[in-house]
Amino acid sequence: MSICLESSTCRTLAAAEVARQIGCSSRIVLRSIHDMGWPVRVGGRALRHGPEDIELIRALYSDALVAEALVRHGIPKVGPGGPIWQRFPSPLSLTPAMVRELYVTCGLSTRQIELLTGQPSDTVGHRLRDIGVPLRSKEDGRSPFLKRWRAVEGQEPALAKGPPPGDGRSARRH
């Protein structure tokens, strides 16, 4: 477990490290932290799998292909911020044409479709399989949308050039 010591800088220390510094057990540190209402997170390395949801949602809405698909299928823009259940108290219905266009044409992942519709990514995946759309494998790496967005943003210039000739697969960094 780690704790946030200052809300402005949010410097985190493991509870065991705090306990060592002040001379008590980590159990006492954690109990005190919980009693004070300070944020505590499960320990381990902080995961960084991509852009924050807010940044990603803004990128999705500003992408020309995605914006056109949203208009075509009557999908309203729902502002970023807050958990998915607050953004979508009632998830949108997934029509076969909508989910196919978002996944195949726009290159969104099931998680990115979840962010735009409120439907869980597992449900999106089931719907895609039900209509005969094969899901991309994890070996394919990032979704085509994310590759396109990052190439435009200059974050991954190698991907802007496309896959290696004759490879038939997406370019990946090792």
Q: For 98-108, write each residue's pLDDT tens digit.
A: 999 999 999 99
Lowest mean pLDDT among 23-27, 70-74, 87-91, 110-114: 23-27
DSSP bridge pairs for 2: 14, 41
Residue 20 to residue 14: CA distance in whole angstroms: 10
What is the predicted pLDDT for the residue at 172? Answer: 35
Q: For 16-46, write each residue's pLDDT tens digit.
A: 888 888 888 876 777 677 667 666 655 544 4
**How far is the CA of 96 from the CAs of 37, 46, 60, 73, 75, in angstroms?**
46, 37, 20, 11, 14
What is the predicted pLDDT for the residue at 134? Answer: 95
Using CA atoms in the order 113, 117, 122, 124, what is the torsion angle rounded to 10 degrees?
A: -70
Average pLDDT of the chain is 76
Exposure pattern of 49-76 as b/e (b: 16+ CB <10 Å)? eebebeebbebbbebebbeebbeebebe
Residue 168 to residue 107: CA distance in whole angstroms: 16
Average pLDDT over residues 56-80: 94
What is the predicted pLDDT for the residue at 150? Answer: 83
Instruction: Determine what percent of the chain is predicted with pLDDT higher than 70.
Output: 68
What is the predicted pLDDT for the residue at 79? Answer: 87
* Nearest one of 13, 87, 91, 90 to 53, comparing CA atoms: 87
pTM recorded for the entire structure: 0.60
Which residue pairs, CB below 8 angstroms and at least 24 apart, start in 8-14?
A: 12/41, 14/43
Q: For 122-163, write each residue's pLDDT tens digit.
A: 999 999 999 999 999 888 888 999 988 888 766 543 333 333
DSSP state of 80: S
